[in-house]
Chains A and B, each alone.
Chain A
Amino acid sequence: DSGVTQTPKHLITATGQRVTLRCSPRSGDLSVYWYQQSLDQGLQFLIQYYNGEERAKGNILERFSAQQFPDLHSELNLSSLELGDSALYFCASNQGGFQETQYFGPGTRLLVL
């Protein structure tokens, strides 16, 4: 158990819909990272927040957005969903930046039908 929690574990929705994924980091961690893992593209970095502020942005689509709240939990919002958005979405946390070990949550499996 990494100490990072994600909800929900599974999510099934339809194309065109909007969903919100939630992540609570390990106690004391200030950074939250979001990743997408699909069969054809592997693990892709989406975005990083540090203490409430966006710090780094990877391959995140414009239809996706995220935020980190004062209590340090984070939400990833996915809108206008397409079939290709079906994937495992992982959240990870650490105390600082990429040079530190990231602790991954169990992931949210999203299926878009």
Chain B
Amino acid sequence: GQNIDQPTEMTATEGAIVQINCTYQTSGFNGLFWYQQHAGEAPTFLSYNVLDGLEEKGRFSSFLSRSKGYSYLLLKELQMKDSASYLCAAADNYGQNFVFGPGTRLSVLP
């Protein structure tokens, strides 16, 4: 089966850097995704990692360690609009399941 864990809530200050961690256990692994979801809205894609290492995309970066079953999303120069839930999700190696973590609700304070 698959299990994904993330912190429930985090708080950070505008302009700061925040790291949201995700640990996963999957029967097979075919990549890890991060999605952003504002309250009442649809999730939107942020990043995808299938190989170990850091992927940078503007203010957002995502890191993956497959041997440790660990990923993090790094948000730099935080803005108020970054207040949202961040969902970690993993696809299994058999293409039969896609599991989202519980999401981390990030609050950015002025």
Contacts and interface: CB of A to CB of B under 8 A. Distances in A.
Interface of A: 2, 33, 42-45, 48, 55-58, 90, 97-99, 101-107
Interface in B42-62: 42-45, 48, 50
Given A43-B87, A58-B97, 20 more contacts: A33-B98, A42-B100, A42-B101, A42-B102, A42-B103, A43-B43, A43-B103, A55-B95, A56-B95, A56-B98, A57-B96, A58-B98, A90-B42, A97-B95, A98-B31, A98-B92, A98-B98, A99-B91, A105-B42, A107-B42
Contacts of A90: 42-43
Contacts of B97: 45, 56, 58, 98
Nearest to B46: A101
Contacts, number: 54
A106 B98 contact: no
Contacts of B41: 106
Interface in B77-101: 87, 89, 91-92, 95-101
Contact of A98 (B91, B101, B102, B103): B91
B30 interface: yes
A102 B45 contact: yes
B95 A2 contact: no
Interface of B: 30-31, 33, 41-45, 48, 50, 87, 89, 91-92, 95-103
Interface core residue of A2, A56, A107 (most chain B CB under 10 Å) = A56
A14 to B, nearest CB: 24
A103 B109 CA distance: 29
B38 to A, nearest CB: 12
B1 to A, nearest CB: 11
Contacts of A44: 100
A103 B50 contact: no
